[in-house]
Amino acid sequence: MSYFFLFWANFVFIGLKAAQQRNVAFDKYIAVMPISWMLGLTEVYVIAQIAVNGFSLWLALLLGTAGGAGALFAMWLHNKVFGENGKA
């Protein structure tokens, strides 16, 4: 298993979840379906890698760190694209 690819896959996965929450909260209908499709792809990849390789504390820490960074990045990017209140 490549921890590098799994880190970035979870970064994207959780980032997409955060972006989707903001899209729903601010009625960005056009972005909901494409993000849902990307969520499906990344979620299946991350879960499949965990199923194949099993649990470890280091993997949990890696995925938690990637997820937190992905959520922070998605929030920052959403604010840059749509403005602080999400209405732009």
Distance (Å, whole) CA 20 – CA 14: 10
List, for residues 11-45, the tens digit of each pLDDT value: 999 999 999 999 899 888 999 999 999 999 999 99
Residues 7 and 62: beta-carbon distance below 8 Å: yes
**Structure confidence at residue 87 as a pLDDT band (50, 70, 90):** low
The residues spanned by each domain of the chain are: 3-82
pLDDT reported for residue 86: 60
Question: Which residues have CB under 8 Å from 65's CB, separation 6+?
Answer: 7
pLDDT reported for residue 88: 54
pLDDT reported for residue 28: 87
List, for residues 43-78, the tens digit of each pLDDT value: 999 999 999 989 999 999 999 999 999 999 999 998
pLDDT reported for residue 46: 95
